[in-house]
Chain A
Amino acid sequence: MIDGKAAGEGKTIQTNKMVLEVMSLPENLGLTRVAVASFAAQLDLTINDLEEIKVAVSEAVTNAIVHGYDGRADGIVKITAIISGPNLELEIQDWGKGMENVQEAMQSPECCDGEEDRLGLGFTFIKTFMEQVGVWSEPGRGTKVTMRRSLPRMARTAVLEN
């Protein structure tokens, strides 16, 4: 059976869900990263996997704060994390200003040399570290970024053998 294992208990987890809502404050970035990484650790992931997931979360939440809410602190960023079999699914949603052109925003710059222009690089990290990245956005309504991370092939084989 392909399952995640609950830390320390030896139980297997088929599904689990975490929902976290935070104000759009940079002070909450560390919290969202650590919360998602702790949740994801219920899967058989390596430290490297968890570090990459933390970067992806940080990028999506930073986008919500900086671009969705233009740095305003009174917005809400909702982070949903779901363990579904061997996969971790993440959804980061804001109700900020939204984007006209999602594809344009996701374009990677030639080389990330701008202090202001980090949006393209942020999406590059998300696309590099996660799979099945999707972005829904509508001007005036907000943005929702979805992404998935599968249990790595080697770890999956190990679980199957057990």
Chain B
Amino acid sequence: MRVETRLTGDTLVARIEGELDLLVTDEFREQVDRLLRETGSRKLLLDLASVSFLDSTGIGAILGRYRKLKEKGGAMAILRPQVQVHHVLEISGVVRVVEVFSEESAALKTLREGGKLS
């Protein structure tokens, strides 16, 4: 798994690459939490376009980041998940609390305006 990040406005855009399972979820949590801390950002856009596999362990890590941000008044969105990853996001109920976008500009605009309230 690789995590590439950049700060766009006040949103941390994290592009994840690889398979998000038990093997890498600790690293995923640590990297994303550290980057949020270092940048001081409370808005996170997870770009999942290059994530080829996601299971319940990965879902737990994604929702953990969502909860942390929500507690701090922040927001989170997901960008361009592949079909099979989107399927898992749907069944797990993630899409009910975290908005999924196909266009980065629309995701950034929504996050700028405060993100999905739930």
Contact = CB atoms under 8 A, between A and B. Distances in A.
Interface of A: 26-27, 29-30, 33, 48, 51-52, 54-55, 58-59, 62, 65-66, 111-118, 121-122, 124-125, 128
- Interface of A (DSSP majority class): helix
5 contacts: A112-B63, A113-B67, A115-B64, A125-B56, A125-B88
Contacts of A113: 63, 67
B99 interface: no
- Interface of B (DSSP majority class): helix
Interface residues of B, number: 25
B84 interface: yes
A27 B57 CA distance: 14
Interface of B: 19, 21-23, 29, 53, 55-57, 59-61, 63-64, 67, 83-84, 87-88, 91-94, 96-97
Contact of A118 (B53, B57, B83): B57
Contacts of B93: 111-112
A48 B19 contact: no
